[in-house]
Amino acid sequence: MRLLVTGGAGYIGSVTTAVLLAAGHDVTVLDDLSTGHRDAVPPGAGFVEGDVADAGLVLAAERHDGVLHFAARSLVADSVADPAEYWHVNVGGTLALLDAVRKHDVPRFVFSSTAAVYGEPATTPIPETAETRPTNPYGASKLAVDHLLTSYANAYGLAAVSLRYFNVAGAYAGLGERHVRETHLIPIVLQVAEGVREHIQVNGTDWPTHDGTCVRDYLHIADLARAHVLALDAAAPGRHEICNLGNGVGFSVLEVVETARLVTGHPIPAVEAPRRPGDPAVLVASADRARNLLGWKPEHPDLARIIADAWALTAP
């Protein structure tokens, strides 16, 4: 297929681009490089520097079979402090992109949704049928797009798939997390191991979890990327499919730090810090739907392996 990948210079978009190319697809990346890197775009993909709202220029030039939409603002705490950009980019930008998709008759649309749409879940692991009550504007903006896609599939026949990622980590094909301002747990923990930071701050030790720290479901980037290739095949006209992507096992912040100590052989000092605004206590996926609909199964569920792959790329 000929595909447009928005956000393909970012962490998840670049790895997925590499996997799509390996699967034989043609890929053009559209990215404004606001948080991504030009050199992360895999060789073999076309590159256009621009905003998602400029997608019409790319889609007008050539017929495309699908769009994979990764470009977004995606930091929970930032979205609480300054929500405007989250609504503008994540909802306004996506709406402009979908206008271009309709105008140029692009049949398939795969969207990076998130576990953050669920908020504090009533049950764990979380199925797609769980109530959606996001605890931060980031999750709310992604949920708004999920609703948008349902209506576009129903009314305009779009073949849409929302993939609700839980916490993506690790590295693949020489590509890993490389944010200028890093906020994600595993890359920060590895920066401590590397000696770039003195310690890891544990954001809250009084959460209602077994050790008082937040629990997340960490998924290998290679497994996540593969789900996108499967989603393109599963997409059906007039349907909006929603699938969680996670391993179904949760690890606390302290368990992640301890695993990273074992993997790296470094002490990784941890200090207690206040809770981070917008954080839910526990997010663990039920990914049964992805298994059944996409035929997807994680191949690298081991947390130590996920951390080791990231460490292999960053280790001094």
Ligand X SMILES: O=c1ccn([C@@H]2O[C@H](COP(=O)(O)OP(=O)(O)O[C@H]3O[C@H](CO)[C@@H](O)[C@H](O)[C@H]3O)[C@@H](O)[C@H]2O)c(=O)[nH]1
Ligand Y SMILES: NC(=O)c1ccc[n+]([C@@H]2O[C@H](COP(=O)([O-])OP(=O)(O)OC[C@H]3O[C@@H](n4cnc5c(N)ncnc54)[C@H](O)[C@@H]3O)[C@@H](O)[C@H]2O)c1
Q: Pick from 185, 230, 268, 282 the residue near ligand X by CB under 6 A.
A: 185
Q: Pick from 166, 172, 296, 311 the residue near ligand X by CB under 6 A.
A: 166
221 binds, among ligand Y, ligand X, none (CB under 5 to 8 A by kind): none
Omega cis (within 30) before 125: yes
Whole-number Å distance between alpha carbons of 47 and 37? 11
Interface with ligand Y (CB under 6 A), residue total 26
70 binds, among ligand X, ligand Y, none (CB under 5 to 8 A by kind): ligand Y
Count CB atoms within 10 A of the CB of residue 248.
18
Name the catalytic one among 11, 138, 152, 218. Answer: 138
Q: Pick from 203, 244, 259, 286 the residue near ligand X by CB under 6 A.
A: 203
158 interacts with ligand X by CB under 6 A: no
Region near ligand X per CB under 6 A, out of 92-100, 109-117, 121-129, 155-163? 109-117
Query: Which of 75, 111, 76, 123 minimizes the C-alpha distance to 284?
Result: 123
Query: Which of 72, 95, 71, 96 minimizes the C-alpha distance to 85?
Result: 72
Q: At residue 240, what is the residue type?
A: H
Token pair for 310: 């990231």
59 interacts with ligand Y by CB under 6 A: no
202 binds, among ligand X, ligand Y, none (CB under 5 to 8 A by kind): ligand X
Pairing mode of beta strands 66-69, 2-6: parallel
279 binds, among ligand X, ligand Y, none (CB under 5 to 8 A by kind): ligand X
Q: Pick from 12, 76, 149, 163 the residue near ligand X by CB under 6 A.
A: 76
200 binds, among ligand X, ligand Y, none (CB under 5 to 8 A by kind): ligand X
Interface with ligand X (CB under 6 A), residue total 21
Q: Pick from 4, 5, 12, 294 the residue near ligand Y by CB under 6 A.
A: 12
10 interacts with ligand Y by CB under 6 A: yes
How far, in whole angstroms, is CA 250 from its chain's centroid? 17
Whole-number Å distance between alpha carbons of 47 and 41? 8
Pairing mode of beta strands 282-283, 215-216: parallel
In the chain, the largest separation of any two C-alpha atoms, in whole Å, equals 56
Whole-number Å distance between alpha carbons of 308 and 157? 43
Closer residue to ligand X, CB minimum distance, 202 or 232: 202
168 interacts with ligand Y by CB under 6 A: yes
Reply yes or no on whether 138 is catalytic: yes
Torsion angle (degrees, nearest 10) of CA 185, 187, 192, 196 = -130
Token pair for 129: 């049928």
The answer to whether the CB of 11 falls within 8 A of the CB of 29 is no
H helices of 209-302, in order, are 221-234, 253-264, 288-289
Region near ligand Y per CB under 6 A, out of 34-42, 152-160, 250-258, 287-295? 34-42
Question: Considering the complex, what minimum distance in angstroms separates the CB of residue 167 from ligand X?
Answer: 4
Region near ligand X per CB under 6 A, out of 38-46, 59-67, 194-202, 292-300? 194-202
| Region of residue 157 (phi > 0: left; psi between -120 and 50: alpha; otherwise: beta) | left
- Report the catalytic residues: 138
The residue ranges that bind ligand X (CB under 6 A) are 74, 76, 114-116, 166-167, 183-185, 188, 200-203, 214, 216, 253, 276, 279, 283
The residue ranges that bind ligand Y (CB under 6 A) are 6-7, 9-13, 31-36, 51-52, 70-72, 74, 89, 93, 112, 114, 165, 167-168
